[in-house]
Amino acid sequence: MQAKNQKIVVLGTGGTIAGVSASANEGLAYKAAQRGIDDLLEVALGHQKHWPEALSDYQFDSEQVAQLDSKDMDFETWMHLAQRCEHWLSQSNVAGLVITHGTDTLEETAYFLSHVLSTAKPIVLTCAMRPANFKDADGPQNLRDAMLLAATTHELGVCLVAAGEIHHSQYVQKVHPTRLNAFDSGETGMAGRVHNDRVEWLESFNSPKMTDKLRVSQLPPASKWPWVEIVMNHVNASALHIEALVQAGVKGLVVAGTGNGSMSTKLKQSLVLAQKAGVQIRLSTRCNQGSVIPTESHIFDATSGLSPVKTRVALMLDMMSQLQSH
Ligand code: ASP
């Protein structure tokens, strides 16, 4: 049993979970980020007929950290969110954090937070695929599941719970534009499930070994973060955009290669020139499962094992830590 003074803090950032559509029958055309975190909590807690035992001794606190559609998530908001997480996590009576977030870029935020916050306390992101006023909104249940997870999980790091599935920040990817269980952890698989207010961990899941990158306090202001873009190989891939990006001052490029990180000769040549000009290049794959297995034929660093969007965050953090150590 927890002491009565332990609390779970719920941070709101917007998304469909806070979205509103014109009617309770409209689940696809809506405006994200309309309802405040206190309203979402009131509905989630109000719907609870049998309050789970594991939560009954906790108090809850909330903070509206941002209110946006996560397609518009930006580095300033990330900094603010990471600072607010650090603030709450440093308090001894805070047992864990829940963050409500839009589904579109959730995996990037989760990955970012997992590398700038170092804590044994759970940080659980959650979201929804249907707006808050939809007749069968999924947000309230997801939020309750996230609070349960935050109250009962330790040492998992940053994770997501949605549609009863628990995914680790290292592996999770949004894989479907409309399905309720829109997330997947590829070959690694999900970490566990929440059913009927019970958390079930899958024995097959092994938590990844996380490498520390930078602490929030070591990050430069968002306006100084290195400019890193993603380019993709595809049929008849042109190199013109790479030349334009280098000209414009890009500092890093992530290649979403085909298959095991292959790319057209044209693309490769322009990336070699970019690298000579000082641009840092990382290789990933546009395949949505598995990761590049580095071989001698790879001339760019293919070791991230991450999706292109996460490789981009990893590269930015690496570049910022290189700057720190100089
Ligand atoms: N566009 C929304 C967002 O990412 C989608 C969602 O939350 O499902 O904020």
130-169 pLDDT, tens digit per residue, is 999 999 999 999 999 999 999 998 788 999 999 999 999 9
36-51 pLDDT, tens digit per residue, is 999 999 999 886 566 6
Q: Is 16 a catalytic residue?
A: yes
CA distance 243 to 241: 5
Give the residues across from 308 on adjacent strands. Answer: none
Q: In this structure, which residue's CA is closest to atom 3 in ligand 1?
A: 102
Two tokens, residue 325: 């150590």
What is the pLDDT, as a whole number, of residue 4?
67
pTM of the model: 0.96
Q: How far is the CA of 71 from the centre of ligand 1 (A)?
A: 7
Whether 129 lines ligand 1, by a CB cut-off of 6 Å, is yes
Q: How far is the CA of 15 from the centre of ligand 1 (A)?
A: 5
What is the pLDDT, as a whole number, of residue 312?
98
Residue of 16, 109, 153, 311 with catalytic role = 16
Q: How far is the CA of 247 from the centre of ligand 1 (A)?
A: 33
Of residues 47, 60, 63, the one with CA closest to residue 99: 63
What domains sit in the chain, N to C, each tagged with a CATH number?
7-201 (3.40.50.1170), 226-325 (3.40.50.40)
H-state helical runs in 156-284? 240-248, 265-276
Averaged pLDDT for residues 67-89 = 98
Which atom of ligand 1 approaches the CA of 16 most closely? Answer: 7
Could you count the other beta carbons within 10 Å of the beta carbon of residue 248?
Answer: 9
